[in-house]
Structure 1
Amino acid sequence: MKTTNFTPAEMEARVARFKSIEPQSSSYDAEVGIPKEVYEMMTARSLYLLMSPENQGGPMAQNPAVTTQDKMSVIIAECPPGDGPLLHAHQFT
């Protein structure tokens, strides 16, 4: 197997630092005008977008920490204790 060497700068472009990621709930409050409390009642407390395609568009692809060429998104959903996502399916993803 061939070994590939990466520079620290090349690696840093592919690293998501959790402490520097702005939660999606904050962007909804500011951009769309939905109060944060209302948004959190319908979704997770905060959604942290770690990775998404650079040209995906839509609300779940705004300012990802890492952009990718493939069609994969990685999101961390923060929920209060005893709460969590409702049963759902991602049929086309």
Structure 2
Amino acid sequence: MGYEIYTPTAEELDARIGRFNELKPMSTADDLSWVPQKAWEIFFAQTIKAVILEDTKSPFGNDAPIIGAEGTTMFISEMPPGQGPCLHSHNNTYETFMVLQGTIEYRIGEPIVHKRVLNKWDVFSCPPGIYREFSNVGDETAFQLTVLTGPVERDDVSMPHSVKERVANEFGDDVANAFGALMPFDPPTA
């Protein structure tokens, strides 16, 4: 037998529980508090509450009720109508989405080639190396559970150069460069 079965202590058990009403917004926003909220909303859902984080330099911060789950990151995103993160790729991780409430459209490719609308309880598992973006296309606030599996590091995520150009035009080079340090922009394509 190559494993050991054990009963955790009460403290060990409690360290593996994340209660929704105690979740906090991702701590990465604290690092760039000078960046306008509207710029944040280009890159991330309006609110992201981490449930499980790895002990790495995650783009989702370092504050979650559960730390360490063998290559799993989990968070709940809240998006008002019309809002959602820009085109990006997770280059080594699967990103799996479950719509908890609302209607979310997922767009794939650069340029966009495919669009799919998911509703409550629908699931989309996006493989590594695919540009994707999504937004709430419904009339009410949408909630989404996101699970990342694999090595979640900041350099796992990249964005097309077109996003850098958009952010620089709307908010200036300092804001674009700050996000580029968090999650790199891919070089321009010919």
Give the secondary structure class of the aligned counterpart of 1:78: strand
Measure how far apart 1:79 and its partner are.
0.8
Consecutive unaligned residues of structure 1, counting only runs of 5 or more, are none
SS in 2 for 1:73: strand
Q: Mean alpha-carbon deviation: is it higher for 2-11 or for 45-54?
A: 2-11
Q: Does 1:51 align with 2:77?
A: no
* Count of equivalent residues: 89
Pairwise CA RMSD: 2.7
1:20-59 aligned at under 5 Å gives the runs 20-24=22-26, 27-28=28-29, 30-32=30-32, 33-54=34-55, 56-59=56-59
User: Does structure 2 retain, via aligned residues, the 8 Å contact 1:14–1:66?
Assistant: yes
Equivalent position amino acid for 1:49 in 2:
A
Give the structure-2-normalised TM-score. 0.39
Task: State how far apart, in whole Å, the 1-side matches of 2:41 and 2:17 are.
Answer: 27
TM-aligned CA distance change 1:87 to 1:58, over 3 Å: closer
Write the mapping of 1:1-93 to structure 2, written as runs, cut at 5 A: 4-24=6-26, 27-28=28-29, 30-32=30-32, 33-54=34-55, 56-68=56-68, 70-85=70-85, 89-93=89-93
Identity of aligned residues (%): 26
Structure having the larger proportion of residues in helix: 1
Q: Deviations over 1:56-79 (max 9, x none)?
A: 114323212211152221121111
Higher share in strand: 2
Segments of 5+ residues of structure 2 without an aligned counterpart are 94-190
Aligned amino acid, residue 34 of structure 1: V
TM-score (norm 1): 0.70
